[in-house]
Structure 1
């Protein structure tokens, strides 16, 4: 019998790169040569470690990933590079696990690897994703231990943190410190600051920064910076200046993105100038900027605000025709508009049609339709929607439940108990509903009602104990 050729470390890396299933990749890594009588002799390369750690981290298979990382620590034949730890810290940051990210950062030296500003920046950014601002301060206060020089990325992360906390004074101080230390700001620095000032309504300072980045630092604003300023102007109903800024982009040959036009479309509807929308769409296409889902959603929202549902559905169909898949927001906007106008039958039909369009309704979709049906006293249809909601693990708002239960109590509908027990399992019954049900039991002398009521209390108690 021909002897099976063993997989080499180089071949293992190639196979891991080709394997898309992280579980199979893990088995391949752990047992590259399953028939080898001495498997511990396999010499893993750093590339193999890097590939399997990346696949497990992206799949959030952290328990398995941590075992591989521990193997890497003990494998003294391999000298790890800092990038692998930066990746791990990022995976933990995205999964909102700041303590694990900090632990990995602290342990980097134990892997025979030196920390540099790269891993410091990665840690700061991961803590920022987790909104761990106090921990960011602690890391920054000890930053000299890890890196001799700071770069623009470090300051950009700190400025972003200050802006997210709406502490623009501190953001400005960080910017000044950046200049004092001789670190040159870049487009991201100014974009972050401009976004912070626009978000907090200080458009004067935002435009002052734009002028300064162009004149003092010779940095051209990018599409994202322009989009931020245009959004800020539309927010304060200054559509004329927003259009001028868009024209400046065209004049300076800044590549326009769909976000700019989507914002201007929303602003046109808000300003009562919907007649300008077709021109914006035509110009958008003429400039090679294809409308995306956000653009169409802006159109749909504008038409629904105008109660022009025919045009809203027209935009939805055009979206599909252009190969731009509607998302749940597209449907929720129309369903919400229809329910506000008490067109609940059409809203319910659209809800039922969503799966056929390969778009799954979310909790907002169900809550909107359920409330709309209760609002027009169509409780039979509401019960059907509630059943589907409960099956999918969703619950309505307490105000909707109260209105629904109130009607069923008045009608002495015995199906009420089925819904109540399902809602109690999800701890979704408030005081008002409890009072309604209690009054129903007090009026009804039947032992059946009392038995159901006791069952409801037991279900609620179990639900509460499981959550605590």
Structure 2
């Protein structure tokens, strides 16, 4: 009995190994096909997992000399800290900058919204150094500086030069039209993203695609389309975050759709999201014609220990002005420090002038 049992066990084990080997062959083949497809699309897993600001200065692996690598990192640090002139000084002192270094300088120009200086750098770059990262960064600069025509020209140029756009390029194009208040063109860019590219993109990039498009329609006050995009996104299994709800709330702000905004805000808990400062603030904007509700929103923020920003106080001041509550408005502006950087904003300055004329 025992020899037969051992033989049966061996047969079962051998069968299991065959099945496992078969599964491994399928898995390896699947992984190989994915790698080939990613290579064809110009993307890879490491690229998608990187933070956006790192991707903008990344290119195909090329060994940099230690000193050039150090200077390139220095440019990126200055860009991140907002010391743009210092970063540009470092770049201009480099004799032979490569693609990575040029991309770092272009990223600096993007953060500084230096369109003209970016154009000068672009003209100096050899055609061989202009890769998908460089083009994507230039298109991003066009978005920051509201130059849709130049962005379209660059997009067509890179395709003509045999450089396939990646998901970041497409997201930058969506943003170009969102910033230039052309939601229909933003939608066209979104719909032109290849389905396989979008499905292989990281969750962050997928969320960004929908968020940028939602924001484009939100700025136009088109709540219906913004909501449709939100439903489409979540139906596809893409997780919503606070920024997506901010776009929904912003879509209500233009026409003061307070009830819809409140219902949208209350829906956040169903998505396991805790409202942040921006969410509370835009909710207050939607209720700007109801001073009492705006005061309640401020109290609710403080009750849940959510930080109140200078922007929040500005929106509260706007509610006081709209309600012609001169006394409350003047009490609110007694301490301008709580408005932070917003105290010098043009909107704030206009509100202060109105407060001065109120009884």
What is aligned with 1:253?
Answer: 237
Query: Which structure 2 residues correspond to residues 25-104 of structure 1 after superposition, within 5 A?
Result: 80-93=66-79, 95=82, 97-98=84-85, 100-104=86-90
Q: Alignment partner for residue 110 of structure 2, among 128, 149, 159?
A: 128
> 1-side partners of 2:256 and 2:158: how far apart?
44
**Cα distance, 1:149–1:253 mapped onto 2, change above 3 Å:** same
Q: Alignment partner for residue 332 of structure 2, among 338, 344, 350?
A: 350
Q: Alignment partner for residue 118 of structure 1, among 86, 100, 106?
A: 100
Contact 1:339–1:368 (Cα < 8 Å) also in 2: no
What is aligned with 2:317?
Answer: 335
Contact 1:160–1:193 (Cα < 8 Å) also in 2: yes
Contact 1:90–1:122 (Cα < 8 Å) also in 2: yes
1:244-294 deviation per Cα after TM superposition (whole angstroms, max 9, x unaligned)? 110111111222121221221232354454322333123212112221111
Contact 1:344–1:369 (Cα < 8 Å) also in 2: no
> 1-side partners of 2:136 and 2:219: how far apart?
25
Contact 1:239–1:264 (Cα < 8 Å) also in 2: yes
Residue 100 (structure 2) pairs with residue 108 (structure 1): no
Contact 1:230–1:245 (Cα < 8 Å) also in 2: yes
**Cα distance, 1:173–1:362 mapped onto 2, change above 3 Å:** closer
| Gapped regions of structure 2 (runs ≥ 5) | 1-64
Q: Alignment partner for residue 179 of structure 1, among 159, 184, 188?
A: 159
Structure 1 or 2, whichever has the larger Rg, is 1
Contact 1:193–1:206 (Cα < 8 Å) also in 2: yes
> 1-side partners of 2:172 and 2:133: how far apart?
12
1:329-370 deviation per Cα after TM superposition (whole angstroms, max 9, x unaligned)? 111111132134331211222334777xx6658346985675
Count of aligned pairs: 288
**Cα distance, 1:279–1:97 mapped onto 2, change above 3 Å:** closer
Secondary structure of the residue that 1:183 maps to in structure 2?
coil
What is aligned with 2:174?
Answer: 194
What is aligned with 1:222?
Answer: 206
Q: TM-score, normalised by structure 2?
A: 0.70
**Cα distance, 1:246–1:370 mapped onto 2, change above 3 Å:** closer
> 2-side partners of 1:85 and 1:338: how far apart?
51
What is aligned with 2:276?
Answer: 292
> 2-side partners of 1:374 and 1:215: how far apart?
56
What is aligned with 1:425?
Answer: none
> 2-side partners of 1:366 and 1:167: how far apart?
28
Greater shift, 274-283 or 361-370, is seen at 361-370
> 2-side partners of 1:139 and 1:180: how far apart?
21
Q: TM-score, normalised by structure 1?
A: 0.55
Higher helix share: 2
> 2-side partners of 1:370 and 1:107: how far apart?
46
1:125-144 deviation per Cα after TM superposition (whole angstroms, max 9, x unaligned)? 22333343333233222322
Residue 339 (structure 2) pairs with residue 375 (structure 1): no
> 2-side partners of 1:273 and 1:373: how far apart?
26
Contact 2:320–2:326 (Cα < 8 Å) also in 1: yes
What is aligned with 2:122?
Answer: 140
Secondary structure of the residue that 2:305 maps to in structure 1?
coil
**Cα distance, 1:300–1:101 mapped onto 2, change above 3 Å:** same
Secondary structure of the residue that 2:287 maps to in structure 1?
helix
**Cα distance, 1:214–1:288 mapped onto 2, change above 3 Å:** farther
Contact 1:171–1:193 (Cα < 8 Å) also in 2: yes
What is aligned with 2:184?
Answer: 204
> 2-side partners of 1:190 and 1:329: how far apart?
31
Contact 2:256–2:286 (Cα < 8 Å) also in 1: no
**Larger RCO, structure (CA 8 Å, separation 6 or more):** 2
Contact 2:314–2:339 (Cα < 8 Å) also in 1: no
What is aligned with 1:302?
Answer: 286
> 2-side partners of 1:326 and 1:291: how far apart?
12
Contact 1:347–1:369 (Cα < 8 Å) also in 2: no
What value does the CA root-mean-square deviation take over the aligned residues? Answer: 3.0
What is aligned with 1:362?
Answer: 343
> 1-side partners of 2:89 and 2:284: how far apart?
47
Contact 1:340–1:372 (Cα < 8 Å) also in 2: no
